[in-house]
Amino acid sequence: MSPTVWRSLLVLSIAIALGYALVGFRRSSEGFIGDPNAQYCGVDAPPCPFGTACINGYCVGTNPPKLPEFTGLPVLPTPQQMNTVMVNFRQ
């Protein structure tokens, strides 16, 4: 084979490998938390058990997650700032 064919095959194989690597990275970075024991649901699947709902094709509990009391994220306005705003607004 000529060097041009070898170069073309090399570029093609690198492009395919890069494509697979990007797809794998995208799947691992979507942020979904999967449960391997979760029941599938949807049009052709049985309904979800009581207390769960069909969300993105899986039966998931409907209770909201418990958040920590302090997350480190600022929530504005703070109660003190709100009191100041209301006092200034009433005057």
- pLDDT tens-digit readout, 1-13: 788 888 888 899 8
pLDDT for residue 25: 55
Residue 86 lies in a domain: no
Residues 6 or more apart from 27 whose CB is under 8 A from it? none
Residue 2 lies in a domain: yes
Into how many domains does the chain fold? 2
Q: Are residues 60 and 38 in the same domain?
A: yes
Residue 79 lies in a domain: no
- The DSSP code for 53 is E
Closest to 54 (Cα-Cα) out of 35, 38, 45, 41: 41
Q: Find out whether 36 and 47 touch, Cβ atoms under 8 Å.
A: no
What does the pLDDT average to over 23-42? 63
Q: Are residues 16 and 27 in the same domain?
A: yes
Q: Find out whether 49 and 39 touch, Cβ atoms under 8 Å.
A: yes
Residue 73 lies in a domain: no
Range of the domain at 17: 1-31
Q: Find out whether 76 and 85 touch, Cβ atoms under 8 Å.
A: no
pTM: 0.36
